[in-house]
Structure 1
Amino acid sequence: MPTDSNWSSRITEKVGKRLAERRKELGLSQATLGERLGLEKESVSRIESGKIAPSLSRLAMFCDALNLSFEELLMDVSTHPSDSAKALIASLEDLSPRQRDIVLRAARNLAALLRDE
């Protein structure tokens, strides 16, 4: 686990950003989401901007209202390599085998280039 004192605030910001992205994907305003959660619009805004860290129970409420699993939320903000791999795999699910092959070849080539830097 990183020892950087800002690590927790960076995670809080990433979680908030992901919640905001999902809310926007669903076409919801902060006020509408707040009504569904029993929160003021300002509370939704502070959580989405990373100014306050939501409790686990509050995160569960957000995830439920946004039809977002904890796994999806946390995988998107994790810095662990295996979580990044899982997120990449999930993004390929709706592609054809041929399209997945193209993406995988491109990713392997890019990784090789980056290793050679």
Structure 2
Amino acid sequence: MPTDSLPEWVPARRRAIGDHIRAVRNHRNLTQEGLAEAAGLDRKTINRIEQGANSPLLDHLLLIADALGVPLADLVRE
């Protein structure tokens, strides 16, 4: 499904998830680089997820949640 055909709430929710990941990361005093290293991802991937630029892979969200020490549900909960 092309991104431009998604309902408005989908990219808005994706940005909200990214904002929440950033808030938890900052609360843990981690840089994007630090989170990327802990999650086994690259900093650009973390940045794209935090910005809501594109849909993250579920695997990436699982790795991020583990690196932050929080359940995945906590990162995506409204």
Please give the range of the TM-score, normalised by the shorter of the 2 chains.
Answer: 0.7 to 0.9
TM-score by length of 2: 0.82
Cα deviation for residue 53 of structure 1 reads 1.6
Unaligned runs of 5+ in 2: 1-5
After superposition, what is the alpha-carbon deviation per residue over 1:19-46, rounded to whole angstroms, capped at 9, x for unaligned? 0100000000001111122222121111
Higher RCO by CA contacts (8 Å cutoff, separation 6 or greater): 2
Instruction: Report the Cα distance in structure 2 between the residues aligned to 1:24 and 1:61, rounded to whole angstroms.
Output: 17
Q: CA RMSD in A?
A: 1.4
Question: Residue 9 of structure 1 corresponds to which residue in structure 2?
Answer: 11
After superposition, what is the alpha-carbon deviation per residue over 1:44-92, rounded to whole angstroms, capped at 9, x for unaligned? 11110110221212111111101111222222xx2xxxxxxxxxxxxxx
Q: Which amino acid aligns with 1:44?
A: I
Instruction: Report the Cα distance in structure 2 between the residues aligned to 1:44 and 1:74, rounded to whole angstroms.
Output: 15
Question: Residue 45 of structure 1 corresponds to which residue in structure 2?
Answer: 47
1:32 has 2:34 as partner: yes
Deviation >6 Å, runs of 4+: none
Q: 1:39 aligns to what SS in structure 2?
A: coil
Q: Which amino acid aligns with 1:49?
A: Q
Question: Residue 63 of structure 1 corresponds to which residue in structure 2?
Answer: 65
**Aligned 8 A contact 2:65 2:71 in 1:** yes
Identity of aligned residues (%): 27
How many residue pairs get aligned? The number is 73
Cα deviation for residue 8 of structure 1 reads 1.1
